[in-house]
Amino acid sequence: MSNFDPDALECLAAIVEEGGFERAAQRLSITQSAVSQRLRALEAQVGTMLIVRSRPLKATAAGQLLLKHTKMLRLLRADLERDLKELAPSSLRGAREEGRISIAVNADSIATWALQALTELAQQGLPLEIITDDQDFTQEWLREGQVLGCVTTLKQALRGCKVVALGAMDYVAVASPAFAQDRLAKPAAAGSAARSKASSTAVTPVLTIHNFRDVSFVAFNRKDDMQSEFVGKAFGLKRVTLKQLFVPSSEGQVRAVLAGWGVSVVPRLLAQGLMDQGLLVNVAPTYTLPIQLYWHCWNLESEVLDALTAALKQAAASSLMVGRV
Per-residue pLDDT tens digits for 107-134: 999 999 999 999 999 998 888 999 998 8
Residue 169: band (very low, low, confident or very high) from pLDDT cuts 50, 70, 90: very high
Report pTM. Answer: 0.74
pLDDT of 202 reads: 54
CA distance 252 to 257: 9
**Which three-class secondary structure state does DSSP give residue 107?**
helix
Q: Is there a single domain that holds both residue 94 and residue 123?
A: yes
CA distance 69 to 129: 17
pLDDT of 273 reads: 97
Q: Is there a single domain that holds both residue 138 and residue 259?
A: no
**Which three-class secondary structure state does DSSP give residue 300?**
coil
Q: Is there a single domain that holds both residue 48 and residue 110?
A: yes
Q: Is there a single domain that holds both residue 80 and residue 32?
A: yes
Q: Is there a single domain that holds both residue 85 and residue 148?
A: yes
Residue 195 lies in a domain: no
Q: Is there a single domain that holds both residue 147 and residue 22?
A: yes
Q: How many domains does the chain have?
A: 2
Residue 231 lies in a domain: yes
pLDDT of 95 reads: 47
Q: Is there a single domain that holds both residue 82 and residue 147?
A: yes
Residue 71 lies in a domain: yes
pLDDT of 87 reads: 56
pLDDT of 125 reads: 85
CA distance 314 to 292: 16
Residue pair 213/243 in contact by the 8 Å Cβ criterion: yes
pLDDT of 244 reads: 97
For the stretch 70-114, pLDDT in tens is 888 888 777 777 666 665 544 444 445 556 888 999 999 999 999
Q: Is there a single domain that holds both residue 263 and residue 155?
A: no
Mean pLDDT of the chain: 86
Quick one: angle between helices 21-28 and 6-18, nearest 10? 130
Return the CATH number at 15: 3.40.190.10
Residue 194 lies in a domain: no
Q: Which domain holds residue 129?
A: 6-169+292-324
Q: Is there a single domain that holds both residue 259 and residue 306?
A: no
Q: Is there a single domain that holds both residue 153 and residue 207?
A: no
